Amino acid sequence: MSAVCGSLIRVAGGLIEKKGLNEKFNLRRGHLEDSKKASERLDSTIQEAVHEGLLVLGEIVRTAIYNNIETRHQLKREQIPRRLEAFHKALIGIFGAGAKIIEKLIAKRLYSRLGLSFIEHEDWTLVEYIEDAKKHMGAS
């Protein structure tokens, strides 16, 4: 009888242990899903900040910029948050040194949307501003 009880206890313990692992896995998976959603929200916010920032040049010019970066740099509007360096290079190609002004305007819009204080850095590009914003938001 004690051998049977011992076997039942081992089986029950194994099930409890397995359930604990499943709960841990589900928590980790939930964390990854939350992280993915946060990343998607940040991408969307970056995209909106770019869209607003470029509007300072006017609707027609903004549309022309999107068309230019898509045809010359194979960069679609929705790809900008994940291809920031390519977007930065595209703006330099279009505006030269003037790209810096546009990038700072976009960065200011982004920081405002995220509820962060914007601090201007003379040598930063949009890429560095967004990396800094991600650090402050706890994303990467």
CATH code, domain carrying 124: 1.10.1200.200
User: What confidence tens digit (pLDDT) does each residue in 52-110 have?
Assistant: 999 999 999 999 999 999 999 999 999 999 999 999 999 999 999 999 999 999 999 99
| Distance of alpha carbon 91 from alpha carbon 68, whole angstroms | 10
> Looking at the predicted structure, is the pLDDT value of residue 32 above 60?
no
Where would I find the beta strands (DSSP E) of the chain?
none
**Model confidence pLDDT, tens digit, residues 106-122:** 999 999 999 999 999 99
Domain count, the chain: 1
pLDDT number for residue 38:
77
Q: What residues make up the domain containing 118?
A: 38-137
Does residue 3 lie in a domain region? no
For residue 108, the 8-state DSSP code is H
